[in-house]
Structure 1
Amino acid sequence: MTQRFGFLLLPGFALLELAGASDALGAANVMLGEQAHDALLFSLDGQPVRSQHGLLMGVHGALAQARGLHALLIVASTLPEPGSASLAALAQALPGTCSPGAWLGGIGSGAGWLAGTGLLDGHRCAVRWEHVSDLAERHPAVVVSTHLFEMDRQRLSCAGGSASLDMLIHWLGQRHGSRLAQRLGGHFGLERLRTGQERQGGSQPQQAVASSKLAEALALMEANLAEPLATEDIAQLVGVSRRQLERLFKQHLGELPSRWYLALRLARARRLLQQTSQSILQAGLACGFASGPHFSRAYRAQFGHTPREERASRAAAWRAAPANDGEGFAAPALQAPSASLPAAPTPTDQD
């Protein structure tokens, strides 16, 4: 029986992440000699969706119109705003779209949207490394990991980049045998098949690979930026003494755990100031600083200027930027849909 595999595209999705998963399904069909998987594209409103770099991707319809899906993955590059209309539309559309026992999940930060509906409570999931701490803070009932991908009781999720290809090859291997997974790896020119237990390349420094205890400590830090853990608590959770943990950090990262942790929190605060409309106080509290003055002093020591100056420079850059009226925009070259996808509306660069 053909498995109906749905992809819900959200504005700003990454084409590479969609292509990795859909091409894996298409290649598997060829190797199996049958249409074992039928890939379908959906949006919340049935209209084409603009990708991260401006390409409008046609879809087969609105998610609410889908029926009998055996799997549904949400493809997104950002987390939803709590209480947003889009999240409400997703929660309303999901019931009735999938068959009993269907796989649900996300690609990139798509799992964050599924978490917003409550369907990830009690499950492990993976998202882009920069959203790990935000998602863990918003949904304490969800186990958010920094792994490349997670497969947990009908829940399937992965980080960004090429992780969707690794995840789908692993999923297909479980369903059709390891021989198919090996053939798919060779087809896509992969030197080796990455497992779900591998950590995202961007989530931790390369030196952390040398020590599993160090990797665990870094993962704990990344998942607890809003309410920082004491060094003693981190050491106990990863099963080493405080002195051993400090030795690991000094040996591999050249820094004490407390200093490294502070730098992680400040880096996240900087992203919040640059990329969101949160107030300076909100950004500080979200990164574990108990007061405005404490946040300001630490920020200046790290970056050479205060949070207020950071926000002012962003505002000045925004005012100085030329208005984008669409003129002079070079749309990406358009191509026919991937052969792994069924016939769908052709991508267009029309607004």
Structure 2
Amino acid sequence: MSQGRSIRLFLVDGTPNGLLTAEIINWSGHVLTGPRSKLTELVQRPECGRTGVYFLMGPDPDGSLRNRVYIGESDDVAQRLKQHNRGEDQGGKDFWERVCLVTSKDLNLTKAHVKYLESWLMRIARSAGHCIVVNGTAHEYDNLPESDRADMAFFLDQIRIVLPALGFDFLRDVTKPSQINETTSPGTKTVSQSPVFELTSKNRSIKAFAQEIDGEFFVLKNSDASERWISTPHSYQTLYSRVVSEGVLPETETGLRVFADDYAFNSPSAAAAVVLGRNANGRTEWTVQGSGQTYAAWQDQQIAGLRPALPSALITTE
């Protein structure tokens, strides 16, 4: 069972849309984040004069549903952020709307440490696939003593815990259904998983399967999908186009498309819309395999089966 963590948040200027700091108990790291509109105040903070790694995040100008992220490191983050704030024609970056900086409270992070962290963060972000990483090729940087690499592995783990809680989810680990049955080492976190759901469109010969893993709704590899968007324009049409453009839904000789890998969606309805090529209510379209029970009915059953915890004063032992 995964152990809980406490994250201490501080609203620097007392507003939820301003500067924010975050810390994890017993971790030397310190996180500072804020919107680009607060850059003047942010670069005056003492953290920005330290050695650290930073992240610039914003929407994709090309219209993708994924955000763009730039990962960098510096001995003087304030100076680097000032450079990034320039226009594209002056060597800056226009896309970003939020910035996040990770430094060390004990000032023990060195240039070698942050270069090592930067290279690993770029690799992890590309592998996770939640955002478009705009950096160039990640350089291999393993020139650290063994003890320092161990320290940075722990530091990296804490970054991956705290950033998603602040809305920077590009490092978030995803466990695909196909990975659950693979051999895992002792201590691996427990994964919550639902039964397998199915969706069938008999008149179009579409048959798809899905499973909910840790709150994400995955359409399973080899599931069928519509060859094109067949309905009126809808926000899910953009999602359908994105999944196709990513190479997840190649065409087949049958005329339909087939999922080349497990693919995570934010909701059953988003998954159903991509499978059917039209707007759909996934809570009723998806049914438990073998029973015909809808996703909505299955979820209601899970909630109804919960028992409220008794106050400790009412718990007795023989």
Normalising by structure 1, what TM-score?
Answer: 0.28
The answer to which structure has the higher strand fraction is 2
